[in-house]
Amino acid sequence: MRKIGIISISLILLLVLIYVLVRPNPEIVSVTLTSETAETTYTDNDSIRVFNHAIRTVKKVRGAVDVGPPTYRMNVTYADTEVVRFSLYLDFKTKSGFLIKDSNSEKMLKLKDRSSKELTDLLSKD
């Protein structure tokens, strides 16, 4: 009887793990950036790829943050019409940056170096 319980729990844990690993990621359809002077919406595949990679590879920074106004307000629209809002902070000289998700404004999400560089390069074109 105990063996069946252990096998059942193991099977459930395995199924949960498989679901977490293979569940589809929501598809980004557009990203709108708003600065003090302009608003730009990105819908092309290359730009979406850059934003998608940046969002998916952030590293959570420990502790609470207290920062000034962001470089950009960023609205990410997914295929299921969900809109997620972020504050995007970029330093164009050092090509570094971080995100703060509006729904969790006390946590900073540091952009990986590659993502920061790609974003600053993309945004410098405009």
Q: Where are the domains of the chain?
A: 26-125
pLDDT average, residue stretch 56-85: 90
pLDDT average, residue stretch 68-94: 94
Q: Give kind and range of the element (H or E) at residue 9.
A: helix 2-22
Q: Residue 87's beta-bridge partner residues?
A: 73, 100
pLDDT average, residue stretch 95-106: 90
In 23-112, which ranges are continuous DSSP H helix? 45-56
pLDDT of residue 62: 87
Q: Does domain 26-125 have CATH number 3.40.1010.10?
A: no
Identity of the residue numbered 87? S
pLDDT of residue 85: 96
Q: How far apart are CA 73 and CA 37, in angstroms?
A: 12
Position 126 pLDDT exceeds 70: no
Position 119 pLDDT exceeds 70: yes
